[in-house]
Amino acid sequence: MTPRDPITHLPTHEVFNMPPHMGDQDLWGDDRALRHWTLQQGGAGHTDHLADVGRLTGLDNTFELANQANRHGPELQAYDRHGMRINAVEFHPAYHDLMDLAVSNKVHNFAWHNEGNAGHLGQSVLTYMFSQPEGGVMCPMAMTYSVVPSLRMAPAIADEWVPRILSTRYDRRDIPVTEKTGATIGMFMTEKQGGSDVRANTTMARPDGEGYLLTGHKFFCSAPMCDAFLVLANTEGMGISCFLVPRWRPDGSRNNLFIQRMKDKLGNKSNASTEMEFHDTWGVMVGDEGRGIRTIIEMVTGNRLYCAMSSAGIMRQALVQALHHTTHRSAFQKRLIQQPLMQNVLADMAIEVEAALALGLRVAQAMDSMDDPPEAALARIGTAVAKYWNTKRCPSLVVEALECHGGPGYVEESIMPRLYREAPLNSIWEGSGNVMGLDVLRAIGREPEAILAFMAEVEQARGNHPNLDRAIDDLRDELANSDGIEGRMRMITEMMALTLQGALLTSQGNSAVADAFCASRLAPRYRGAFGTLPKGLDLDTILSRALPA
């Protein structure tokens, strides 16, 4: 008997009708939809690497490391034993093991190792897979991946830092980056009084030789043990500028990054989030003075794609857990998965997961084609659309998957509570739903080529399904009506997401999944609850496609 084998005979009863321990998963090989959409969007050249990472990331040991890292969260070590201020955070060994696994497999830099060769697509698949066992480690992975375009706006800084980002060696030591074998980079933007309105920031930066000294307070500083951070601060008379602030100064002394406290968050427990004071904190300007928001938005774009794909990954793992439970649990003389209403619920969730995956990977493909103007335009508006919709659908799907387990899904020995706590995060990080809607509106107003590219994309699928044709027409009508459009932008962004998902599924996807999507999400009476698929759909095929291979 292995340690994982259940005790089947107790003094009072025999244990039966309980699902077995799932054990190892293969997050690539077991996911038919993932393999299909990766190939559809041009990722055939990366399948060997993705298969290796999917196998390693799906190991039972990886999920247990995630469990340990979340149960034993980071601790603030403001001072060392000699009384010296070090502003450090101490992590459980499991966290470092996960960081090593991610870094060594290019979860933080795959796109930049494969520029011009479906790099963002591969990056997005890695995000989708690694987000299934663990979300906290993915915060520094996402920021390190996303920072490269911003750094390249300052070539001298990029020459110094990008090679460190491209390293695949995880170096946990808190020492000057010049002595390390690799680096990660974070981002500190928000302050108490402004939140998403970063123009309300009050942190100031004044020139100091070849750099600047920053003074102020940052309210959300996640992954504070990164080697450097992009920070927004005001310069005299010029407004918001962007700065690279390292943990250590060039002279080898510690930079003035004074961690005030750790945030006690709802989820994302393995990741440290802090409040931080800057007092004459040294940094160098990235990009043009007074153009800090424009500089850092290059980083935000990549993080928004990350949010869309991370949410899709969380949904996939929630579905996998529900499928496992219902396959091995019986009620009323049938397996739960054989019960008609449960089949409807599970198939409905499977459709949502695949639609989220297709949407995110299509945007990633567009990001890989930024030299093509229509694709670049689609990428600009598509990141906001995908970020909005995937992150909105994730919490409700996780709740439904948890309900499939009944009471056992509500106890901490299950992964479901962790997925539940993680599910809302991506809708808040890098812009809430309202910010995404306003970004879509801004793209429509300032970049008319963006909405033209979007509509051209969905029009290619006209004729595939009557409900899709109607959805395209309804979207055109909404966009043509500018009266009170700002207050309608959530609805319009949702319509854009659903229409693009329908276009992708009917043009490139599985017919059973596509038919069910159009018959539900694009039907006039759809209200969004799972388990409300109309009759006449091929649920067996949908479930077979979703079940681990």
Q: pLDDT, tens digit, for every residue of 255-308?
A: 999 999 999 999 999 999 999 999 999 999 999 999 999 898 888 889 999 999
Residue 208 DSSP class: E
pLDDT band at 4 (very low <50, low <70, confident <90, very high): low
CA distances from 398 to 25, 91, 350, 405 (A): 19, 28, 12, 11
Q: To the nearest whole number, what is the mean pLDDT of the chain?
A: 95
Residue 2 is predicted with a pLDDT of 44
**pLDDT tens profile 88-102:** 999 999 999 999 999
CATH number listed for the domain at residues 299-546: 1.20.140.10
DSSP annotation of 9 reads B
Domains 184-293 and 299-546 share a fold: no
502-516 confidence digits (pLDDT tens): 999 999 999 999 999
**pLDDT tens across 109-161, in order?**
999 999 999 999 999 999 999 999 999 999 999 999 999 999 999 999 999 99
**pLDDT of 430 over the 90 cut:** no
How high is the pLDDT of residue 5? 52
Residue 228 confidence class, pLDDT cut points 50, 70, 90 = very high
**Residues 361/38, Cβ–Cβ less than 8 Å:** yes
How does DSSP classify residue 485?
G
CA dihedral for 185, 121, 70, 25, sign (positive or negative):
negative
Indicate the domain borders of the chain: 32-165, 184-293, 299-546
Which of the following CATH numbers is that of domain 184-293: 2.40.110.20, 3.40.980.10, 3.20.10.10, 2.40.50.1020? 2.40.110.20
Q: Measured in Å, how far apart are the chain's first and last C-alpha atoms?
A: 27
Q: How confident is the model at residue 8 (pLDDT cuts 50, 70, 90)?
A: confident
pLDDT at residue 452, rounded to an integer:
97
What share of the chain in percent tops pLDDT 90?
91
Q: Read off the pLDDT band of 237 (50, 70, 90).
A: confident
Band the pLDDT of 3: cuts 50, 70, 90: very low
